[in-house]
Amino acid sequence: MFGNARNAISAYQKVGIDAAIEVADPYRLILLLFAGAQTAIGKARAAMQQQQIAAKGEAISKAIDIIGNGLKVSLDLEQGGELAERLYALYDYMVLRLLRANLDNDLRALEEVAALLEEIHGAWREISPQAQQRAVA
């Protein structure tokens, strides 16, 4: 479902995730992207509540960048089949909701995207390499 490690590393470098990405495996890189997007949305939520327009815009832009240029481009549409295609469409939807949240100061849109990310993040954690090894044993 996800492309090779080199594509994932490139995606992380594009969105500026601060971590030792050169030594992280593709699974860990995706975890870092989820965490980065969730952190950015949390910052956007706080900035929106405090009416800090510039900070809100920066945080939402960061979340959009991570989702659109990190998570989405890491998908391998050829290998991932229908699941990858659905995630691709969902990431597009999240980006649109974040844009709307920024334009309309829509806290519910931020919370919707945060909930969607958390659900996918949780599923990703469940398919960890260690969990897969335990299932086989």
Tell me: the pLDDT tens digits for 110-120? 999 999 999 99
> 106 to each of 11, 43, 84, 97, 118, how far by Cα in Å?
28, 14, 28, 9, 19
- How many residues would you count in the chain? 137
Task: Label residue 26 by pLDDT band (50, 70, 90).
Answer: confident
Q: What is the pLDDT of residue 131?
A: 57
Q: How many C-beta atoms lie closer than 10 Å to residue 3's C-beta?
A: 19
Q: What is the pLDDT of residue 134?
A: 56
- On the question of pLDDT at 10 being above 90, the answer is no
Q: Which domains does the chain have, with CATH numbers?
A: 5-136 (1.20.120.340)
**Segment 61-71 mean pLDDT:** 96
**Around 1, how many Cα atoms within 13 Å sit in the side-chain half-sphere?**
13
Q: What is the pLDDT of residue 97?
A: 98
The model's pTM is 0.79
Cite the DSSP H helix spans in the chain: 5-15, 26-49, 53-66, 72-74, 77-104, 107-126, 129-136
